[in-house]
Amino acid sequence: MNILVCIKRVPDVGARLEVMSGERAIETRNLGFTISPHEECAVEEAVLLVEKHGGSGTVLTLGPGDAEEQLRDSMARGMDRAILLETDGEDWDPVQTASAIVEVIRMQEIQGFRFDLILFGNESADAGNYQVGIRVAHTLDLPCVAGIKRIEIREGKVIARRENATGWEVYQVELPAVVTVKEGLNLPRHPSLRGTMTARKKPLERFRPNRGQAALEMVRLRLPAEQGSAAEMLGEGKQAVSRIIEVMEELEVLEK
């Protein structure tokens, strides 16, 4: 079976964000970049499914030219080929993103490359719009199950489990299908050295998609008001234990 995984390149942010002047992006000069967490699991799942059922894994992203790094990373983890929808580096809104992805999937189909399963992250770590996978599925008229943490493929169907407050909801849909997944689906492997070497030679196609009209138009970014202040220091090392216990009593988590 042929699987397509759509990923997003996101900065690996540490303890605080900084908004750049112009208020349209965060400062990333000193940051590394990574695959958004849910999608990292989507890549791992695709590799596992292809190992089990055969076929191929294609990884796709819409982003700046530098997003090649995340595509190569995915191929180092076992994906076979990559597609880069190269933008000017600005964040596209979910409608624009979905329509560019739909266009390239249709183009792939015309070229004889059909996907049985298309995986997305349930939401990206940075923008958190919760909708690109759903929009792509709708336009392609494919069934879409969202928020999934367990995937099985059986007799042309995907059996997908979604966690809720009391357990699991089970969905069964016919392939081809779209599934949006969440971290916890699996424990992603680290790329091996050998994987990293072979990833350099795997095929990567680049396209420049047309950017449609923005429907959810970013005006500006800003940081929320800083919360809290410096901690009250209770001491150093074991000497702090008596103060810790006093605080626990004050907070009534420990009986006096």
Selected from 21, 30, 111, 164, the binder of another protein by CB under 8 A is 164
Residue closer to another protein by CB (options 111, 164) is: 164
Beta-carbon contacts of residue 135 (< 8 Å; ≥ 6 apart): 94, 95, 98, 99
In the block, which residue shows the tokens 């969440």?
182
Residue closer to another protein by CB (options 201, 226) is: 226
Q: Least Å distance between CB 193 and another protein? A: 19
Site string for another protein, 113-132 (x = CB under 8 A): ---------xx-xxxxxxx-
Residues shown for the chain: 256
Selected from 88, 187, 194, 201, the binder of another protein by CB under 8 A is 187
Beta-carbon contacts of residue 215 (< 8 Å; ≥ 6 apart): 93, 95, 96
Residue closer to another protein by CB (options 95, 204) is: 95
Site string for another protein, 9-48 (x = CB under 8 A): ----xxxxx-x------x----------xx----------
> Are the beta carbons of 48 and 69 closer than 8 angstroms?
no
Residue closer to another protein by CB (options 1, 177) is: 177
List the structure tokens of 65.
Answer: 């030219």
Query: What value does the CA radius of gyration of the chain take, rounded to a whole number of Å?
Result: 22
